[in-house]
A and B are shown apart, each in its own frame.
Chain A
Amino acid sequence: MIEQALAGLWYGFSVAFEPQNLMWCFVGVLVGNMVGVLPGMGPLATISILLPLTFGMKPVGAILMLAGVMYGAQYGGAICSILLNLPCHPPHAVTCLDGFPMTKQGRGGVALGLTVFSSFVGASWGITEMIFLSPILVKVALEFGPAEICSLMALGLLAGSTLARGSPVKGVCMTVLGLLLGSVGSDLETGQQRFTFGLAELDDGVELIALALGLFGIAEFMTSVNQTAAINTQYSNVRLRDMRPTKADVKRSIMPMFRGTLVGSLCSLIPGTGPTIASFVAYATEKKVSKTPEKFGTGMIEGVVCPETSTHSSVQGDFIPTMSLGIPGDAVMALLLGALIIQGIVPGPQLISQHPDIFWGLVASFWIGNILLVLLNVPLIGIWVKMLAIPYKYLYPSAMFFVCIGVYAANNDFFQVGEVVVIGILGYVLLRLGFHPAPILLGFVLGPRFEENFRRAMLISRGDLATFIERPISAVFVALCVILIVGQIYVRLKGSKGDVYLPPEKALHPGAEQEATAPQPAPLSADATRSVPH
Chain B
Amino acid sequence: MKHSLLYKRDFYAGGLMILFGLFAAFNGPRYSLGTLMHMGPGFMPTALGVILTLLGITIAATALTEKEGEGEEGILPEHPQWFAWGCILASPLAFILFGKIGGMIPGTFMCVFVAALGDKDATWRGVVALSAVVTFFGVMLFHYLLKIPMPLLKWDFL
Footprint of B on A, CB under 8 Å? 53, 167, 169-170, 172-173, 176-177, 179-180, 183, 187, 189-190, 192, 194-195, 218, 221-223, 225-227, 392-394, 396-398, 400-401, 403-405, 408-409, 412, 414, 417-418, 420-421, 424-425, 428-430, 432-435, 451, 454-455, 458-459, 462-465, 509
- Give 29 A-B contacts (CB < 8 Å), ordered by A residue: A170-B13, A176-B21, A176-B55, A179-B44, A180-B20, A180-B52, A194-B31, A218-B92, A225-B118, A226-B81, A392-B119, A393-B119, A394-B116, A397-B130, A398-B130, A400-B92, A401-B95, A401-B115, A403-B92, A404-B92, A405-B138, A405-B142, A408-B148, A408-B150, A435-B13, A454-B39, A458-B36, A463-B37, A509-B77
| Total CB contacts across the A-B interface at under 8 A | 185
**Interface assignment of B5: CB less than 8 Å from any CB of chain A:** no
| Complex interface: chain B residues within 8 A of A405 (CB) | 95, 108, 138, 142, 148
Interface of B is mostly: helix
CB distance from A53 to the nearest CB of B (A): 6
- B52/A455 in contact, CB under 8 A: no
Q: Are A179 and B41 in contact (CB under 8 A)?
A: no
In whole angstroms, what is the CA distance A141 to B125 when docked?
60
Q: How far is the CB of B48 from chain A (nearest CB, A)?
A: 5
Complex alpha-carbon distance, A433 and B39, angstroms: 34
Q: Mark B65-103, 1 if CB is under 8 A from A, else 0.
A: 000000001011101010011001101110110011000
- Give Cα distance in the complex from A491 to B136, angstroms: 55
B100: chain A residues within 8 A (beta carbon) = 414
Which B residues are in CB contact (< 8 Å) with A418? 92-93, 96
Partner of A187, one of B41, B91, B115, B121: B41
Q: Which residues of B contact A170 (CB under 8 A)?
A: 13, 59
**Would you call A417 and B95 a contact (CB within 8 A)?**
yes
Majority SS of interface residues in chain A?
Answer: helix
Are B121 and A393 in contact (CB-based, < 8 A)?
Answer: yes
Q: How distant is the Cα of A173 from the Cα of B113 in the complex, in angstroms?
A: 37
B75 touches A433 (CB 8 A): yes
CB contacts (< 8 Å) of A403 on chain B: these are 92
Q: Are B88 and A173 in contact (CB under 8 A)?
A: no
With A397-B134, A434-B9 already in contact, the answer to whether A173 and B52 are too (CB < 8 A) is yes
**Cβ–Cβ < 8 Å partners of B96 in chain A:** 414, 417-418
Contact A409 B122 (CB under 8 A): no
Q: How far is the CB of A481 from chain B (nearest CB, A)?
A: 14
* Residue ranges of B at the interface with A (Cβ–Cβ < 8 Å): 9-10, 12-13, 16-17, 20-21, 24, 27, 31-32, 35-42, 44-45, 48-49, 51-52, 55-56, 58-59, 62, 73, 75-77, 79, 81, 84-85, 88-89, 91-93, 95-96, 99-100, 107-108, 111-113, 115-116, 118-122, 126-127, 130-131, 134, 138, 142, 146, 148-150
Instruction: Give Cα A350–Cα B58 distance, bound, in whole angstroms.
Output: 40
Which of B21, B27, B36, B120 has the largest number of chain A CB atoms within 10 A? B36
A451 proximity list for chain B (CB < 8 A): 44
B115 near A400 (CB under 8 angstroms)? yes
| Cβ–Cβ < 8 Å partners of B38 in chain A | 459, 463
Q: Which A residues touch B95, using CB under 8 A? A: 401, 404-405, 408, 417
In the bound complex, how far is the Cα of B59 from the Cα of A458, in angstroms?
A: 31
Specify which chain B residues have a CB less than 8 angstroms from the CB of A392 in the assembled complex: 119
Q: For the complex, what is the distance from the CA of A130 to the CA of B73, rounded to whole Å?
A: 41
Complex-state Cα separation, A393 to B56, whole angstroms: 37
